[in-house]
Chains A and B, each alone.
Chain A
Amino acid sequence: MSTSSRSRPWIFLGKRLAYGLLAILAIAVINFFLLKMAPGDAAEAMAGEAGTATPEYIAELRAQFGLDQPVLVQLGHFLARLATFDLGYSFRYGEDNVTLIFDRLPATLMLMSASLLVAVIGGIIFGVTAARYANRAPDQAISLVALLLYATPPYWIGLILILVFSVWLGWTPTSGMVDVLAFNTGWAHVVDVAHHMILPALTQAFFYLAIYIRLVRAGMLDVLSLDFVRVARAKGISESRIMYRHALRNAVLPLLTVVGTNLGGFLGGAVLTETVFSWPGVGRLMFDAMFARDLNLLLSILVLSSAFVVLTNLVVDLLYVVINPTVELK
Chain B
Amino acid sequence: MAEANPQPLLAVENLEVAVAGHPEARILRGVTFAVNRGETLAIVGESGCGKSMTSLSVMGLLPAGVEKTGGSLRLDGTELPITDNRKMRKIRAARIGMVFQEPMAALNPVFPVGKQVAEVIGEHMSLSRSAARARVLSLLDQVGLPDPERIAKSYPHRLSGGQLQRVVIAMALACDPEVIIADEPTTALDVTVQAQIMRLLKQLQIDTQVAIVLVTHNLGLVAHTADRVAVMYGGRKVEEAPTRELFLNPQHPYTRGLLDATPHPDRQRRGGKLLNEIPGTVPSITDPMPGCRFAPRCAFAQADCQAAPPPEEGPAGHRVACYHPAAWAAQDKTEAPQ
A–B interface present (Cβ within 8 A): yes
Q: Enumerate chain A interface residues (CB-CB to B < 8 A).
A: 1, 3, 226-228, 230-239, 246, 249-250, 253, 323-326
A239 to B88, CA, bound (A): 12
| Contact residue among A233, A239, A250 (Cβ-Cβ distance under 8 Å from B109) | A250
Q: Check A249 against B110 for contact (C-beta < 8 Å).
A: yes
- Check B93–A235 contact: CB distance below 8 A: yes
Interface hits, B33-83 → A, CB 8 Å: 59, 61
The residue in A226, A228, A235, A238 that gathers the most chain B C-beta atoms within 10 A of its C-beta is: A235
Are B109 and A326 interface neighbours, CB within 8 A?
Answer: yes
Given contacts A234-B61, A237-B123, contact A228 B93 (CB under 8 A): no
Contacts of A234 in B (CB 8 A): 59, 61, 92-93, 97-98, 100
A324 touches B85 (CB 8 A): no
Known: A230-B61, A233-B61, A235-B123. A326 touches B100 (CB 8 A): no
Decide: B92 and A227 in contact? CB cutoff 8 A.
no
Task: Give the distance to chain B from A21, nearest Cβ to Cβ, in Å.
Answer: 31
Taking CB atoms, residues of chain A closer than 8 Å to B112 are 325
In the bound complex, how far is the Cα of B89 from the Cα of A76, in angstroms? 69
Task: Verify B171–A235 contact, CB threshold 8 A.
Answer: yes
Whether the pair A232, B108 counts as a contact (CB closer than 8 A) is yes
Known contacts A227-B102, A230-B100, A325-B155; decide if A235 and B107 are in contact (CB<8 Å). Answer: no
Residues in B88-134 with C-beta less than 8 Å from chain A: 88-94, 97-98, 100, 102, 105-112, 119-120, 123-124
Q: Mark B259-274, 1 if CB is under 8 A from A, else 0.
A: 0000000000000000
B157 CB within 8 Å of chain A:
yes
Bound-state Cα–Cα, A201 to B93, Å = 46
List the B residue with the shortest CB-CB distance to A1.
Answer: B157
Cα distance A109–B230 in the bound complex, in angstroms: 67
- Residues of the A chain whose Cβ atoms lie less than 8 Å from the Cβ of B85: 239
Chain A residues within an 8 Å CB radius of B140: none
| B244 located at the interface, meaning its Cβ lies under 8 Å from any Cβ of chain A in the complex | no
Residues of B close to A1: CB separation below 8 A: 157-158
- Tell me the minimal C-beta distance from A326 to chain B in angstroms: 5
- Decide: A227 near B157, CB < 8 A? Known: A236-B123, A236-B124: no
Q: Distance (Å) between the CB of A160 and the closest chain B CB?
A: 40
- Which chain B residues have a beta carbon within 8 Å of chain A's beta carbons? 59, 61, 85, 88-94, 97-98, 100, 102, 105-112, 119-120, 123-124, 155, 157-158, 168, 171
Q: Which residues of A contact B102 (CB under 8 A)?
A: 227
Extra contacts besides A226-B105, A234-B100, A325-B157 (5): CB < 8 Å? A231-B171, A235-B120, A249-B110, A249-B111, A325-B110
Q: Assuming A234-B98, A236-B91, is B108 touching A228 (CB within 8 A)?
A: yes
In the complex the two chains form, what is the Cα distance from A239 to B124 in whole Å?
Answer: 15
Within 8 Å CB of A233, what residues of B?
A: 59, 61, 92
> Could you show 6 A-B contacts with beta carbons less than 8 Å apart?
A231-B107, A235-B123, A237-B89, A249-B108, A250-B110, A323-B110
Contacts of B119 in A (CB 8 A): 235, 237
B92 contacts across to A, CB distance below 8 A: 233-236
With contacts A226-B105, A227-B105 taken as known, whether A236 is within 8 angstroms of B155 at the C-beta atoms is no
Q: How many Å lie between the Cα of A238 and that of B111 in the bound state?
A: 17
Question: Do A228 and B123 have beta carbons less than 8 Å apart?
Answer: no
Complex CA–CA separation, A158 to B105 (angstroms): 46
- Nearest to B98 among chain A residues (CB) is A234
The residue in chain B whose Cβ has the minimal distance to the Cβ of A228 is B108
For A3, what are the chain B residues with a Cβ–Cβ distance below 8 Å?
Answer: 158
Of A236, A250, A253, chain B has the most CB atoms within 10 Å of the CB of A236
A227-B100, A230-B100, A326-B157 are contacts. A236–B120 as well, Cβ < 8 Å? yes
- Minimum CB–CB distance for B138 against chain A, Å: 18
**CB <8 Å contact, B106 and A227:** yes
For the complex, give the distance between the alpha carbons of A226 and B98 in Å.
16
The answer on a CB contact under 8 Å between A326 and B110 is: yes
Which residue of the partner chain B has the closest CB to A3? B158
Chain A residues whose CB sits within 8 angstroms of the CB of B94 once the complex forms? 236
In the complex, what residue of chain B is closest to A227 when comparing beta carbons? Answer: B105
What A residues does B171 contact at CB under 8 A? 231, 235
In the complex, what distance in Å separates the CA atom of A1 from the CA atom of B100? 24
Contact (Cβ within 8 A) B108 A246: yes
Docked pose: A1 CA to B155 CA in angstroms: 12
A323 to B155: give the CA distance in the assembly, Å. 13
B100 and A236 contact, CB distance less than 8 A: no
Q: Are B89 and A236 in contact (CB under 8 A)?
A: yes
Q: Out of B97, B110, B123, which one reaches A324, CB within 8 Å?
A: B110
Which residue of chain B has its CB nearest to the CB of A226? B105
A226, chain B: closest CB distance, angstroms: 6
A250 and B91 in contact, given A1-B157, A235-B120, A237-B123 (Cβ under 8 angstroms): no
**With known contacts A1-B158, A234-B61, A237-B119, A228–B106 Cβ distance under 8 A:** yes
A141 to chain B, nearest CB (A): 20
Residues of chain B lying within 8 A (CB to CB) of residue A238: 89
- Please, which residues of chain A bring their CB within 8 A of the CB of B123? 235-237
CB-CB under 8 A from A249, the residues of chain B are: 108, 110-111
The interface residues of chain B lying within 8 Å CB-to-CB of A231 are 98, 100, 106-107, 168, 171
What's the least CB distance linking B172 to chain A, in Å?
A: 8
Question: Across the two chains, which residue of chain A brings its CB closest to B168?
Answer: A231
**Are A325 and B120 in touch, CB under 8 angstroms?**
no
With A236-B94, A326-B155 in contact, is A228–B61 under 8 Å at CB?
Answer: no
Q: Report how far A227 CA is from B94 CA in the complex, Å.
A: 20
A234 and B96 CA atoms in complex are apart in Å by: 9
* Interchain nearest-CB distance for B21 vs A (Å): 15
Q: With CB as the reference atom, state the residue of chain B lying closest to A249.
A: B110
Q: CB-nearest residue of chain A relative to B60?
A: A233
Q: Which of B102, B106, B108, B124 has the most CB of A within 10 A?
A: B108
Please give me the residue from chain B that is nearest to A234 by CB atom: B98
Residues of B within 8 A of A324 (CB): 110
B160 smallest CB distance to A (angstroms): 11
